[in-house]
Amino acid sequence: MEQNVLQPLDKAEFRSVVGHFASGVTIVTAAHDGVRYGATISAVTSLCDTPPMVLVCVNQKLGTHAAIRNARHFTINILGEDQASLAHTFATPGADKFADVAVHHGQHGPRLAEALAYLTCRVVDDLEGGTHRIFVAEVVEAQAGTGNPLSYYRGRFGHFVPYRNAMWRTTQADNAVFPQ
C-alpha cells in the first residue's frame, strides 16, 4: 500500500499565501535591566475576554524576545494609519528605535505615547513555535484613542476602509452574510 507523504511547503510559497491575510501593525515594547526594547510585530491576536488575554509571537533572535522572557511583561502599541515610518524604524535591526519617540515609562516598561491604542500585558505562559516564541499574556491595562489603524497586506502598509459603513444582513437564499 502506497503512503501519501506530504512534502514540506516551500518557504516562499508559504510567505506569499499568508501575505494575503491582512493584519494590524503593532510595536511590542519591553524593558529589562534598565534597557528598552521594541519590535514591529504583526502576529498579535486577542485570546479571550475573561480574563482579558492576548497572544503575541516574537522571533527568538530579537532582543525584545529576551526582554519579554526575562521581565515577564510587555506592552502592545497599536499603530495608527499615519505611523508607517515608526513601524519601519522598529522593524530595522540596529536602529536607535526610541530616538525622537515620546515614551511613557510605567511599572510594566515603555509605552509609545503616540500609539493609537495600547495593551499592557503580564506573561502567564509561553511556548516555542519554530523560530518564534508564543507569549500568552493577561492584559492588565488598556486604552484606545481615536483614529484608524495601520494595516499590513502583501508586504505593504495601508489603512482600513470600512465597507460602506453598513449593517450586516443575512440573505435567506443561502444564509451567506453580505453588507447591505
Is the bond preceding 110 in cis, omega lying within 30 degrees of 0? no
Alpha helices in 5-135 (DSSP H): 11-18, 63-71, 84-91
pTM above 0.75, yes or no: yes
Q: For each successive 10 residues of the chain (180 residues), what is the average pLDDT?
A: 76 80 92 96 95 97 97 98 96 90 92 97 97 97 95 89 63 50
pLDDT of residue 176: 52
Q: Under 8 Å CB-to-CB from 66, ≥6 apart: which residues? A: 32, 37
39 exposure class (CB count in 10 Å sphere: 0-12, 13-18, 19+) = buried
Closest CA to 27 of 56, 69, 61: 56
pLDDT of residue 167: 59
147 exposure class (CB count in 10 Å sphere: 0-12, 13-18, 19+) = middle
The amino acid sitting at 165 is: N
CA distance 129 to 139: 22
Q: Which domains does the chain have, with CATH numbers?
A: 24-152 (2.30.110.10)
